[in-house]
Structures are given as C-alpha cells and as structure tokens.
Amino acid sequence: MSSETITIKTPDGSFSGYLSKPESGTGSKPGIVVIQEIFGVNQVMRDLTDWYASQGYVALCPDLFWRIEPGIDITDKTEEEWKQAFDLFGKFDVEKGTADIAATIDTLRPMTSGKVGAVGYCLGGQLAYLTACHTSSDASVGYYGVNIQNRLDDAKGIKKPLMLHMAGKDEFVPPEAQEQIVNGLRDNPHVTIHRYPEMDHAFARPGGAHYDKKTADEANDRTIKFFQRHLA
C-alpha cells in the first residue's frame, strides 16, 4: 500500500487530496472517494483512506475546506478544536463541496477499473447523500449524515445505490429528523438505511467519545459488502 498527495482541479481552482493505493496498484481496482468530517483531512480520515486501500480500493480523500482554508487538520480532542470545526462547518458551502466531490470522482476514475463510489462521515455523511443525488458516483455510503432531512427534495436525483448508517441517539440528528429521512426515502428502491438504535453520533470514529467498536465493525462490514456488490 502506498500514499501520496495529489492535486484535484476545478473551474474555481485546485485543491489537494490524500490518495492511498492498494498493494496491487491502480488501474484494475475500483475507487472510493472518502469524504471528511468537520475536522478536515486529519489522521482519522487518512487512516480510513488507508483502510479502504487495504480492502482493495484506490481511495482518495479530498480537502473540501480548501475554499475556506487549505490543509485543515485538527482533532476532536479539545474544546478549541471543536469550536474551530463548527466554525468551518458554518462557513462551508455544501453546493460547492458537492461540486468538488464531483471533480474528485472525475480525477479518481482514470486511476481505477472505471467504477468509483463514495463514503462520508458526519458532514461527509450529508455530502455522501448529495453525492448520490448529484454526481456520477456508482455507489455511495453515508455515516450519521447531518441535515439530510432538509435536502429530501434532492432525492429524486438518486439513480445509483445509496446506503445510510443512522445513529438512533445522534445528538445532531434528533428522532423527528431521522423519521423524516426514513419516510422521505422509503419509496426509493436505490436506498438502504441501517439504524443503530443505541448509538450516538460518530460511533464509527476510532478514538472518538462515542466510538463503539462492535457497531463500527458491523457498519463497516455492511459498507464493504455494499461496495463489493456495486463496484465490482
């Protein structure tokens, strides 16, 4: 497995992405865009990108905060960093972020078998949903995505498989919002939703306050099987 920083170009400018490749290299393997949380492309996201590469995918994590400040790399360990993360979240333009993911998919696809999916966490969970609605992603997965209930009109654009992992006790997605999401997507045959009733937000973030290894392993296993099925 090897990793490097690459450049992704858009009409608005260029930004960086952390690319991790499986041992057998690129060209014959499918790709996955790994979509960041509100802490930037930090060690957690790089480790996740490496993990997807270890599963046989060409994985690319784009720096989606580049329009605000390139190279954000903070943790969830201090109050100051949380304040910075929420400030970045407040300034983030979701539409431009979705366009940047589309550019990332276009950059990644020539390095792969031709199939490219996306997976995102927290902010990235919402963006994974919008990626399914508005980009050429072949299969998308969102973990505890925020604000999806406010974007259900976008669901008419979902034409490829989408899987959502929802935390039943998510402090950022209250029960009524979760029911809106489930009811709003119920009739779309491309959408699969897994619910984890006792979990809080970020249950799959290693080292996080709500990390639950057993449930994270279950969700990650479902994600990998989903990608094996749809990106083969």
pLDDT at position 23, please? 84
Distance separating alpha carbons of residues 53 and 47, to the nearest angstrom: 10
Task: Give the residue ranges of the chain where pLDDT is below 70.
Answer: 25-26
pLDDT given for residue 172 in this prediction: 96
| Residues forming the active site | 170, 201
- How many angstroms separate the CA atoms of 230 and 225, rounded? 9
Residue 162's alpha-carbon distances to 16, 150, 192, in angstroms, are: 26, 17, 6
Quick one: pLDDT at residue 24? Answer: 76
Residue by residue, what is the 3-state secondary structure of the chain? CEEEEEEEEECCEEEEEEEEECCCCCCCCCEEEEECCCCECCHHHHHHHHHHHHCCCEEEEECCCCCCCCCCECCCCCHHHHHHHHHHHHHCCHHHHHHHHHHHHHHHHHHCCCCEEEEEECHHHHHHHHHHHHCCCCCEEEECCCCHHHHHHHHHHCCCCEEEEEECCCCCCCHHHHHHHHHHHCCCCCEEEEEECCCCCCCCCCCCCCCCHHHHHHHHHHHHHHHHHHCC
Q: What is the pLDDT of residue 106?
A: 98
Q: What is the pLDDT of residue 26?
A: 66
Q: Buried (b) or exposed (e) across 5-40, using 16+ Cβ within 10 A?
A: eeebebeeeebbbbbbbbeeebeebbbbbbbbbbbb
Helix 94-108 and helix 123-134: axis angle, to 10°? 70
pLDDT digits (tens, 9 = 90+) for 69-125: 999 999 999 999 999 999 999 999 999 999 999 999 999 999 999 999 999 999 999
- Domains delineated in the chain: 2-230 (3.40.50.1820)
Average pLDDT, the chain: 97
The answer to whether 220 and 34 have CB atoms below 8 angstroms apart is no
For position 27, what pLDDT does the model report? Answer: 75
